[in-house]
Structure 1
Amino acid sequence: MKVILISSIVPGNAGGGRLVLYHHFKDASAIELLVVCDGPVPGFNHKVLKHGVSSRIFKRVAKTFLRRWALDCQEYFLPCKPGRVAQICREFKPDVIMTVAHGNLWRLALGEARSSRVPLVTLFQDWWPDLSGTHEMLRPLLDKQFRALHQNSAVSLCVCEGMLTALGPHPRAEVLYPTPGGSAPSISQAKREPTVSEQLKVIYTGNLGDYGGMIQTALEAMKEHPRIRLEAIGGNPAWPAPFRKEMQERGLWHDFVPQEKLGVWLATADAFLVAMRFEPQLRRFMETSFPSKITHYAQFHKPIVIWGPEYCSAIQWARRGDRALCITDNDPIALKAALEKLAGSPAWQASLTERAKQAAQTELNPERLQRQFLGSLQNVKGRPNKQLSRSISTT
């Protein structure tokens, strides 16, 4: 099956959506993939689109005090001529066009799907209008276009139930959780029997840019705790220099762990922490995004601890079947109190361990997620979406 991915998000052995695509496509022998984007994609067959003059100007202006105005313009001008994409598609003859609803290249994918009548599969990983950096006055229109992309796709792959609900009904929409990145060691290597005589080692990995403030308050609250050891792994947190130095000296913050060593490091944890932000203005983003680290953590069969608002996707996922320890109070003291209870209850640790194991063997199983992904592409092959309309401007 020939798939052309026209997208601002491309496969890459890095974090976030790039890593999800990397794991979907790296060993997919049944797929002949061509990536069409605006930069190199090492390890994958690809074509690089040359940005037009207006797009290059907007990119420069976006680095000035006129940044928001430039970002507004980028949402209404295609980065390159659609004719170049059409030429690539004519030569490649794809069975399926795929895109990620992020950035502005999805507009080129939609336009080509319209003209060629090749089915379009769209991956919705986050609510792009809220990340676009544009002026608030444009958000309602961007929301409308975002939902129209959903309706004009032959298949919509939504990262969580919250995303599917926010986008609205679609005859071929389904939830596809992020495919786990990396690999967990064998369970015999990762297993540590719950005990009350040692410190409970809790590890957080990932984004310390957006979540640095939350993790800082948690580290501050627990840095002297005799029975809880919270460690964070992530680069460039916006922390005061003295705090960064203190956390490094205590061994509680590690700015970088090589990918090949990360699995072994995570195997030393007794539990894993997932954080989602509480600010009211971020509510929709928290409802419609799903932390890929949850699927990764589950593979280790260790308790998962989620610290976030009740409405966030991670908490909603955990509530179905008591899959994780949930803390919905943004006060780090509430997090500390919950971890103290967990540290003092080997039975509770064992129960949450079993819940993580069940998730890893069912809906968060990597092989199952990959079969679902490949099936969504295969099932739509040769079935152009008759819903395609002119409801989104791509000029």
Structure 2
Amino acid sequence: MSQVKFSSEHDILLGVLGEVSNLLMLSIKKLFKIPYYLFYHDDTIFNRYAKLSLLTAEHINKILKAANYIFPVSDSLTSLLKAKGINNAETLYPIPEGYGGPFKAHNNDSPNHLRFCYAGMIMMHVHFDILDNILQAIHQFDGSLYCFTGPLDEFQPKYPENIIIRDLLPTINQLQSFIINNIDVVIVFYSFDLQHEPRMESSFPSKFIEYAQLGIPVLLIAPEYSSLGKWALKNNWISYVNSDDPDIIAGTLMKFKNEEYWKKCQQQVLEHINNEFNPDLIHSNFMKKIVNSSAFNV
């Protein structure tokens, strides 16, 4: 380590809270007096998964106390830290890729056949129930769900004719292009199984912010006690469903056939990407906090 040169005036350390590399960062901070910042993306250090971690509770406490500032991904995580006496923390959303192309117009050619999309990892059986319920809802009006994810060999949907399963695309730009050209509504969901997906209480799906950049309506399906559900209620999200019941989900999905409703949902997305979901604004808030905090008083 003595061969590596650090400057306490010009360098900073960035880490993700909960990773074993935090211990290396902690040593570098102490040795070279370098400011140390942490991103906090998932509640893996305080919930039941903590026992599987490589970091002990003592390690975590040392890391939290040493960090100059922590950037949790949700208000729930920020509150969790402050309840533990960690006040040098402020919510910071993940910075999305961004999108510079034209926004999609309402599909006037075939408004009765809605095309939905989900892209991201499926946590096997944890998400199979909610995914099948969404498909049952889509089947009620003969829509389609394009699902970009890993293999779903064990998934046995009730209506397989309503889902098109694709491999994850190599780049976010390819996914953006497909969604703009082929999709009417993007779906972001959590399971309703808190026992097997405890992270839903405090994590925040970065895919939501990423999808929003396209200016396409985003349907949110999550329990009200989840961080996403709390966010949706706080922001009066128009296309939010707080139930995993197929009939209730279908009731909201079918609203997107109405052009006025679709445009209202799109407008709400556009308002957010011009404000709190704006990548430049997120980056600016991050830089301001680094500059204005007591970071360099290590």
Judge same fold: TM > 0.5, yes or no: yes
Cα shift at 1:311: 1.4
The answer to whether the Cα contact below 8 Å between 1:274 and 1:293 also exists between their aligned partners in 2 is yes
Match of 1:209 in 2: 123
Residue number in structure 2 paired with 1:230: 145
1:257 pairs with 159, 169, 173, which one?
A: 169
Partner of 1:279: 193
In the alignment, structure 1 segments of 5+ residues that lack a partner are 1-83, 386-395
Shift of 1:226: 3.2
Shift in Å, 1:308:
1.2
1:296: Cα distance to partner?
1.0
- Structure 1 pair 113–132 and aligned structure 2 pair: CA distance change class (3 A): farther
Local SS of the residue matching 2:210: helix
User: Residue 306 in 1 paired to residue 220 in 2?
Assistant: yes
Q: Deviations over 1:122-169 (max 9, x none)?
A: 111112226895648x99x95675465334311111111011011115
**Equivalent position of 2:96 in the other structure:** 180
Unaligned runs of 5+ in 2: none
* 1:226–1:184 Cα change, 3 Å: farther
Distance 1:353 1:276 in 2: 21
Task: Give the CA RMSD over aligned residues.
Answer: 3.2
Which entry has the higher C-alpha Rg, 1 or 2? 1
1:308/1:329 contact within 8 Å kept = yes
Q: 1:133 to 1:161 in 2, by over 3 A?
A: closer
Q: Distance in 1 between matches of 2:166 and 2:151?
A: 10
Q: Given the superposition, is the C-alpha separation of residues 97 and 258 from structure 1 closer, same or farther in structure 2, using an over 3 Å criterion?
A: closer
Which residue identity is paired with 2:41?
Answer: Q
Deviations 1:206-239 (A, max 9, x none): 0123564145413541464435322211112352
1:290 and 2:204 are equivalent in the alignment: yes
Identify the match of residue 183 of structure 2 among 244, 265, 269. 269
Structure 1 pair 109–298 and aligned structure 2 pair: CA distance change class (3 A) = same
Query: Given the alignment, which residue of 236, 253, 264 partners 1:351?
Result: 264
TM-fit CA distance, 1:338: 2.2
- The percent of aligned pairs where both chains have the same amino acid is 19
Which structure would you say has the larger RCO, counting Cα contacts within 8 Å and 6 or more residues apart? 2
State the alpha-carbon separation in 2 of the partners of residues 160 and 122 from structure 1.
Answer: 14
Rounded Cα–Cα distance in structure 2 between residues aligned with 1:294 and 1:134? 26
On the 8 A contact 1:216/1:239 being kept in 2, the answer is no
SS in 1 for 2:45: helix
Output aligned runs, 1:47-66, within 5 Å.
none
Worse-superposed segment, 272-281 or 325-334? 325-334
- Looking at structure 2, the residues matched to 332 and 262 of structure 1 have their Cα atoms a distance apart, in angstroms, of 27
2:281 corresponding residue in structure 1: 368
C-alpha distance after superposition, 1:46-67 (max 9, x if no partner): xxxxxxxxxxxxxxxxxxxxxx
Letter in 1 for 2:258: S
Residues 275-297 of structure 1: CA deviation (Å, up to 9, x unaligned) = 11222335651122110111111
- CA displacement at 1:384 relative to structure 2: 2.6
State the SS of the aligned residue for 2:220.
strand
Asked if 1 retains the 8 angstrom alpha-carbon contact of 2:18 and 2:60, the reply is no
Aligned partners of 2:106 and 2:259 also within 8 Å: no
Residues 25-68 of structure 1: per-residue CA shift (max 9 Å, x gap):
xxxxxxxxxxxxxxxxxxxxxxxxxxxxxxxxxxxxxxxxxxxx
The CA distance in 2 between the partners of 1:317 and 1:305, in whole Å, is: 13
Preserved contact between residue 17 and residue 39 of structure 2 (Cα < 8 Å): yes
Q: Deviation digits for residues 297-347 of structure 1, max 9, x if unmatched?
A: 11122221111111111122222232342222223343223212x234332
Distance 2:89 2:253 in 1: 38
Distance 1:329 1:101 in 2: 32
C-alpha separation in 2, matches of 1:123 and 1:108: 16
Asked if 1 retains the 8 angstrom alpha-carbon contact of 2:69 and 2:295, the reply is no
Aligned to 1:120: 36
* Corresponding residue to 1:218 among 133, 154, 170: 133
Whether contact under 8 Å (1:323, 1:356) holds in the other structure is no
Alpha carbons of 1:149 and 1:214: their partners in 2 closer, same or farther (altered >3 Å)?
farther
Q: Is the 8 A contact 1:203 1:231 kept in 2?
A: yes
Question: Contact between 1:201 and 1:269, CA under 8 Å: does it hold in 2?
Answer: yes
Would the alpha carbon gap of residues 201 and 130 (structure 1) be closer, same or farther in structure 2, given more than 3 Å must change?
Answer: farther
Q: Is the 8 A contact 2:201 2:227 kept in 1?
A: yes
